[in-house]
Amino acid sequence: MRSSLAKSITETVSDLHKSGIVDEITMKNIETLCIPDVHDYTPEKIISIRKENHLSQAALAAVLNISTSTVQKWERGIKKPAGAAKKLLDLVERKGIEVLV
């Protein structure tokens, strides 16, 4: 529901921007507000994302620019992804590994 509402709002504001009614800054602000929420990742979900993209732990670590031991700790539940790493996992989950390579 939220996704379709955000898409509708973004498309409407984009049309207003093309018409000159909405400026560039307002357009960027609306796009930023409509970015999907990034959820927490369980160890099982991280493993699933890695395997769906046919990656080893080392390969996933290289793509995310983190250490292999960090991926291992995520997958064992010792640590949880946060910040930029969480956002990158979200991108890979939604769009595939190709978005980062």
- pLDDT of 6 > 80? The answer is no
- Return d(Cα 90, Cα 40) in angstroms, integer: 9
Phi, psi of 19 (to 5 degrees): -80, -10
- pTM value is 0.68
Residues 31-83: tens digit of each pLDDT? 888 777 788 999 999 999 999 999 999 999 999 999 999 999 999 999 999 99
The DSSP secondary-structure symbol of 19 reads: T
Which three-class secondary structure state does DSSP give residue 101? Answer: coil
- pLDDT of 2 > 80? The answer is no
The DSSP secondary-structure symbol of 98 reads: G
